[in-house]
Structure 1
Amino acid sequence: MRRHYGMDWLRIGAFGLLILYHIGMVFVPWPFHVKTAQPFDAAKVPMVLTNAWRLTLLFVVSGYASRALFARSKSLSAFLRNRNLRLLLPLAFGVTVIVPPQSWVQLVTQAGYPHGFGYFWLHDFFRFGKVHGLALPAWNHLWFVGYLWLYTLALGLLLLLPQRERLQRAFDVAFGGWRAVILPIAWLLLTQVELFTRWGDTQDVIGDGIAHLAYFPAFLFGFGMAASFPVMRAIGHYWRPCAVVAALCIAFAMAVEIGWPGNALPPPPLSDLYQGLRYVETWAAIVALIGLAERYWNHDLPIRATLTEAIFPFYLVHQTIIVVTEYALRPLSLGPAAEFAVLVVATVLGCLAFYYGGRGIGWLRPLIGLRAAKRVVEARPATG
């Protein structure tokens, strides 16, 4: 595969937006691991910009990246070994080391947990039960890594099928032309609205079946799209009208958030329309963003390679930095604007320190999602 720089930029942007979204979660009334002492309900309105499509987009770009990795692998088994190491090791390290401060802050601020972090980590985090109503151990934002690993294993089973090239040809036919837009929207409306009603995710592998019906096909779509000229051509043709549709859906969602503040929902049939348009917006926005990446972002810059490598370590650690920083800011009563600015700066600096500090330590690199350092073997001088 030829490298598509636009999709690299889209992946970087998708994770960057997710980090900003998680900072915003501190201020809005939606459940989160730590909440500001000065809620700012109006923050929900800009968060609506990405609320519907941010996670589905992550699975699409992850599927695309997986195809690039598969194309560079010597075999299917080599591809799966690589994905096991690059996903399972950071997941285990994250659950053991990175996530526990989030759970401790959540219990202290929301349940009156009386003990310090050291006691909590040694005695309660690995209890495999509930502590003050919170199930532990938790993986919090790292559920995405777990889901991605499971979807990669399922993909591996599909790639074991004989004459797997036929699957790619079938994908090209099924999603060529207008079908690249309409069929995914129809699938989302059928599975997320008509057959089942999904407003959010449980982040529980076993109990999150409805979300799997959205995320796993999105991952497979990204994998197939990476080698499909007909589908990329269709997206290049339809991305502008999709951008208009997504913008109209976002405007409607913003109006709902303004009209029904807090956690309130409008009454039926307006709530039904709101839910349906969320999934129309999801795929329309994704098509529009891929089209933008194809049309305008498919060029390289010196910083791209570093950001491409850094974005996964950023994802691993960002939420813990947000939660711990907000815990320290709560007593200061800075006000929402100042608090948001401090959180952004602290998160960026913390992520940079985590990445640059970890990438120089050979044994730590695989634990934070980086490739193992290449060994340099010095040639011995010839002896006579």
Structure 2
Amino acid sequence: MMKRQYDLDWIRVFATLAVFLYHCSMFFNPFPWHVKNNQLDSGSILVFSLFIGAWIMPIFFAVSGISVTYALKNRPVTAFFKERLIRLGVPLVFGVFILTPHQIFLERIANRQFNGSFLDFLPHYFDGIYLDFGGTGNFAFFGLHLWYLLVLLVFSFLTIPIFKKIPISGRFSLVHLWLLPFILFASGLFKTQGLGGWDLVFYLIVFIYGYYYFSSEAFKNNLQATIKIHMTLALISSAVYIVWFMKAYPQPGSVEEIIFFAVRTINCWSLLLGIFFLADKYLSFTNRFLKYASEASMPFYVLHQPVIVLLGFFIRDLSWPIPVKLIFLISISFILIMIGYHFVVRRLSLLRFLFGMKAARRKNKAQATYSLHK
């Protein structure tokens, strides 16, 4: 049995919270999104969006790759596939048919692409494939923000033959810390589908690296020896990337765009290493909060965007200042999500299943009696 890395649980929890804040910022920044505020911010909110967007989805795929290492150690491949279908496939399907239609409806209403009630819109939800913001298709087969679950499910099935054929060697030399950025940069030559700021090939490489190398104890040792370099690169590349983006985004196909992508890649990689180092150093422990938050992370992820879009739609045209709307959107959305999770989702077996949670543990009668008289 492999020793559980609690730092990975902390990373997953904080990354889920970061995604929540990122999508709240999408309501205000200049990037296209489902519903936008009547005033946009190209200052501090945009800076926040750029910084979080640089690493947030890659860290999810890196941690997911590490998690596969543990999953395959503790169960056969058939059980792994079954677990993936239940933990990822079920909430994905639930999200596509239950949590996504109203988001598309609100987007169409906000962009004046549809007139009528939500019930009037429902039959049109299957009209065409939804491909991007403001498009004409309505059926979002990937569940909008739940695309991560779909891609992770596909990656899990595609890579199992590789993982089983090429075992983990347990070796991790310093060369891997410098090799991956070049591989990730080279992945820019392959254009498949961009999601969450990066291409699918980029995510696949990070996922595979997570399985083979980030799970190695030698990785932590080598990272500790070179962390000052990576943290310095993280600070410099973050500043260069954000300022360059805000001042003059390079023309597509230009040499400047290639250099810009190299800066982004270095920024993402160095930030990932910094996060892994800090989590290993300060968060290698567990407590009651982590146990609760770890279990809540998947339902929270599934629920957060549907709530943000709905709440944002109703406040988008109000005359409130942006800071007031931002505080309102973050606080009320968080409260609604947590109330829904704590008092409804986690207490009902069917909803636990639909949100990809494990069945609730039940004390046997003897344990219950002992607890009662203790």
> TM-score normalized by structure 2?
0.88
1:186 aligns with 2:182: yes
1:215 counterpart residue number? 203
Partner of 2:348: 361
Give the Å deviation of 1:70: 3.0
- The answer to which of 326-335 and 87-96 deviates more is 326-335
Distance 2:300 2:235 in 1: 29
Contact 2:194–2:200 (8 Å) recurs in 1: no
For 1:184 and 1:218, how far apart are their aligned partners in 2?
9
Q: 1:201 aligned to 194, 201, 216, which one?
A: 194
**What residue number does 1:95 align with?**
96
Cα deviation per residue 1:142-197 (whole Å; 9 max; x = unaligned)?
11000010111123223443xx5xx211xx44xx23223211101011111xx346
Q: In the alignment, what sits opposite 2:298?
A: 312
Aligned-pair identity in percent equals 24
CA contact (8 A) 1:181 1:284 kept: no
Q: Structure 2 counterpart of 1:335, which letter?
A: P
Aligned counterpart, 2:371: none
Mark the CA change 1:266 to 1:249 in structure 2 (over 3 Å): closer, same or farther. farther
Gaps of 5+ in 2: 367-374
Q: How big is the shift at 1:54?
A: 1.5
User: 2:37·2:317 contact (CA, 8 Å) conserved in 1?
Assistant: no
Contact residue 44 and residue 257 of structure 1 kept, 8 A: no
* Distance change >3 Å, CA 130–CA 242, structure 1 → 2: closer
Q: Give the Cα–Cα distance (whole angstroms) in 2 for the partners of residues 348 and 89 of structure 1.
A: 23
Query: Quick check: 1:125–1:137 contact (8 Å CA) kept in 2?
Result: yes
1:152 aligns with 2:192: no
Change (3 A) 1:226 1:53: closer
The number of residue pairs the alignment matches comes to: 358
Give me the whole-angstrom Cα distance separating, in 1, the residues matched to 2:185 and 2:67.
26
Q: Distance in 1 between matches of 2:56 and 2:130?
A: 30
Q: Aligned partners of 1:326 and 1:376: how far apart in 2?
A: 42
* Cα deviation digits, residues 88-142 of structure 1 (max 9, x gap): 1100000011111111111110133102112212x11123457983322112111
Paired letter, 1:362: S
1:374 to 1:126, Cα distance in 2 relative to 1, 3 A:
farther
Deviation at 1:257, TM superposition (A): 3.6
Q: Secondary structure at the match of 1:331?
A: coil
Match of 1:25?
26
Which residue matches 2:79? 78
What is the identity, as a one-letter code, of the residue corresponding to 1:201? G
- Deviation sequence 1:363-384 (CA, Å, 0-9, x none): 11110121123567769xxxxx
Instruction: Pick which of 9-18 and 126-135 moved more.
Output: 126-135
Tell me how far 1:55 sits from its aligned partner.
1.1
After superposition, residues 261-272 of structure 1 pair within 5 angstroms as 264-265=249-250, 269-272=255-258
Question: Aligned equivalents of 2:226 and 2:119: distance in 1?
Answer: 54
Residues 128/272 of structure 1: CA separation in 2 closer, same or farther (3 Å cut): closer
Deviates more, 1:347-356 or 1:98-107: 347-356
Q: Is the 8 A contact 2:155 2:204 kept in 1?
A: yes
Specify every segment of 5 or more residues in structure 1 that has no aligned partner in the other structure, as ranges: 380-384
Looking at structure 2, the residues matched to 118 and 65 of structure 1 have their Cα atoms a distance apart, in angstroms, of 41
1:382 is matched with none
Distance, in Å, in 2 between the alignment partners of 1:129 and 1:67 is 35
- Corresponding residue number in structure 1 for 2:124: 124
CA distance in 1, matches of 2:227, 2:157: 31
Amino acid at match of 2:145: H
Query: CA offsets, 1:336-380, max 9 Å, x none?
Result: 10111011112211221232211101111110121123567769x
Aligned partners of 1:8 and 1:308 also within 8 Å:
yes
Spell out the pairing of 1:26-45 with structure 2 (5 A cutoff). 26-42=27-43, 43-45=45-47
Pairs within 5 Å for 1:1-384:
1-42=2-43, 43-73=45-75, 75-121=76-122, 123-129=123-129, 133-138=135-140, 139-161=143-165, 164=166, 167-169=167-169, 172-173=170-171, 176-192=172-188, 195-196=189-190, 201=194, 211-225=199-213, 227-260=215-248, 264-265=249-250, 269-356=255-342, 357-374=344-361
Which SS does the other structure have where 2:126 is aligned? coil
Secondary structure of the equivalent of 1:340?
A: helix
Instruction: Give the direction of change, closer, same or farther, for the CA distance of 1:181–1:376 in structure 2 (3 Å limit).
Output: same
Whether contact under 8 Å (1:5, 1:298) holds in the other structure is yes
Tell me if the contact between 2:181 and 2:265 (Cα under 8 Å) persists in the aligned partners.
yes
For 1:228 and 1:53, the matched residues in 2 are separated by 21
Q: 1:129 to 1:293 in 2, by over 3 A?
A: closer
Gap change, CA 1:377 and 1:291, over 3 Å in 2: closer
Backbone CA RMSD of aligned residues: 2.4
